[in-house]
């Protein structure tokens, strides 16, 4: 009973092992993009894609190992709402960039 009270529904159920794995993976996924850029690699689509991929991977690592997101029934509403917000954020960010680029193009802002 007492143990139940320490972990109310939806709360974190972490372990030292989980946090350590999360930390190590995060360090690796931070070191890769910083290493690439700081060694003065030429800017290219490849490098941009790598930076984005490392960022997305690290966000997932932190969601799973630090925020303990999962598909368990106790966590399912946290996860569902987060997936919904990802959709909203994608519409907001990609939509804004898309629209503004077209506006710039039509108004010849580059000239």
Partner 1 sequence: MTDTTFHNDIQRDDHDHHDYDGDTLLGFWIYILSDCILFASLFATYAVLSSSFAGGLTPKDLFDLKLVLGETALLLFSSFTFGLVMLGVQRKCIKTVYIWLAVTAVLGVAFLGIELYEFFHFSHLGAGPTSSAYWSAFYALVGTHGLHVFAGLLWMAVLVFHFLRDGLSQTNIVRLSCLSLFWHFLDVIWICVFSVVYLMGVM
Residues lying near partner 1 in the complex (CB under 8 A) are found at 4-12, 14-16, 18-19, 22-23, 26-27, 30, 33-34, 37-38, 43, 47-48, 51-52, 54-55, 58-59, 62-63, 66-67, 74, 77-78, 81-82, 84-85, 88-89, 92-93, 96-97, 100
**Separation CA 62–CA 68 (nearest Å):** 8
- Count Cβ atoms within 10 A of the Cβ of residue 22 and give its class: 0-12 exposed, 13-18 middle, 19 or more buried: buried
Give how far Cα 55 sits from Cα of 1, 40, 73, 90, Å.
40, 19, 28, 15
Nearer to partner 1, 77 or 105 (CB): 77
Least separation in angstroms between CB 111 and partner 1: 14
Least separation in angstroms between CB 71 and partner 1: 15
Tell me, what DSSP letter sits at residue 66? T
């Amino acid at each position: 009973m007492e143990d139940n009270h320490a972990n109310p529904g939806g709360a974190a159920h972490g372990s030292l092992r989980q946090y350590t794995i999360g930390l190590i993976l995060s360090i690796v996924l931070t070191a890769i993009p910083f290493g690439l850029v700081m060694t003065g690699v030429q800017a290219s689509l490849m490098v941009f894609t790598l930076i984005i991929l490392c960022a997305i991977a690290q966000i997932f690592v932190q969601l799973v190992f630090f925020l303990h997101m999962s598909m368990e029934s106790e966590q399912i509403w946290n996860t569902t709402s987060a997936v919904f917000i990802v959709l909203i954020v994608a519409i907001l960010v990609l939509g804004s960039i898309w629209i503004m680029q077209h506006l710039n193009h039509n108004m010849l802002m580059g000239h």
